[in-house]
Structure 1
Amino acid sequence: MTATSEPGGARASHPEPPARLSLVPEGVAPGRLGGAWWPRSRDLLRELPPLAATLAPSWGEILRVTVNPAHWPVIPRRVPVTGHVIHVGWFEQEQDAEEVVVCSFVPRRLDLLVIPPETEAPTAEWLMTAACEPANTRTATELLAAAGAPTEGARTGG
Structure 2
Amino acid sequence: MTTTCGALPRPAPVTAPPARLVLKPDGHSRGLLDGAWWPRSRDLLRELPALTDALDRVWGRITRIAVNPEYWPVIPRKVPVNGHVVKVGWFTPEIDPHKLLLLSYGTGRWDLLVVPPETGAVSAACLMAAASDYDGPPLTASALIAAAGAGRAASTADRPLDPDEAWEYEGGTCVPSAAVPAQAAEVSRLIIGM
Distance 1:82 1:145, change over 3 A: same
Structure number, greater radius of gyration? 2
Q: How many residues align?
A: 139
Q: Deviations over 1:100-143 (max 9, x none)?
A: 00111232111011000000000000000100121411000011
Secondary structure in 1 matching 2:145: helix
Alignment of 1:1-158 (within 5 A): 13-133=13-133, 134-148=135-149, 149=154
TM-score, length basis structure 1: 0.84
2:75 counterpart SS class: strand
Task: Specify which structure has the higher proportion of strand.
Answer: 1
CA–CA distance in structure 2, aligned partners of residues 13 and 88 of structure 1: 24
Superposed structure 1 runs of 4+ greater than 6 Å apart: none
- CA distance in 2: counterparts of 1:46 and 1:29, whole angstroms: 32
Q: What CA deviation, in whole Å up to 9, does each residue of 1:5-42 have, x standing for no partner?
A: xxxxxxx9410011000110122222210010000011
Give the secondary structure class of the aligned counterpart of 1:74.
coil
Deviation at 1:99, TM superposition (A): 0.4
Shift of 1:145: 0.7
Q: What letter matches 2:72 in structure 1?
A: W
State the alpha-carbon separation in 1 of the partners of residues 13 and 65 from structure 2: 23
Asked if structure 1 preserves the Cα contact closer than 8 Å seen for 2:79 and 2:85, the reply is yes
CA distance in 2, matches of 1:28, 1:93: 28
Change (3 A) 1:39 1:135: closer
Q: Structure 2 CA distance, aligned partners of 1:61 and 1:135?
A: 24
Please report the TM-score for the alignment, with normalisation by the length of structure 2. Answer: 0.69
Q: Are 2:24 and 2:136, in contact at CA under 8 Å, matched by a contact in 1?
A: no
CA distance, structure 2, for counterparts of residue 146 and residue 132 of structure 1: 16
Cα deviation for residue 58 of structure 1 reads 1.4
- In the alignment, the residues of structure 2 paired with residue 64 and residue 91 of structure 1 have an alpha-carbon distance, to the nearest angstrom, of 13
Percent identity over the alignment is: 55
Unaligned 5+ residue runs, structure 2? 1-11, 156-194
SS at match of 1:87: strand
- What is the Cα-based RMSD across aligned positions, in Å? 1.6
Unaligned runs of 5+ in 1: 1-11, 151-158
Matched to 1:144, the amino acid is: I
After TM superposition, give the deviation of residue 82 of structure 1 in Å: 0.6
CA deviation profile, 1:65-120 (whole Å, cap 9, x unmatched): 00000111000000011111000001101110110001112321110110000000
The SS at the match of 1:116 is: coil
Q: Is the 8 A contact 2:103 2:110 kept in 1?
A: yes
Distance 1:78 1:25, change over 3 A: same
Partner secondary structure for residue 129 of structure 1: helix
Contact 1:35 1:132 in 2 (8 A): yes
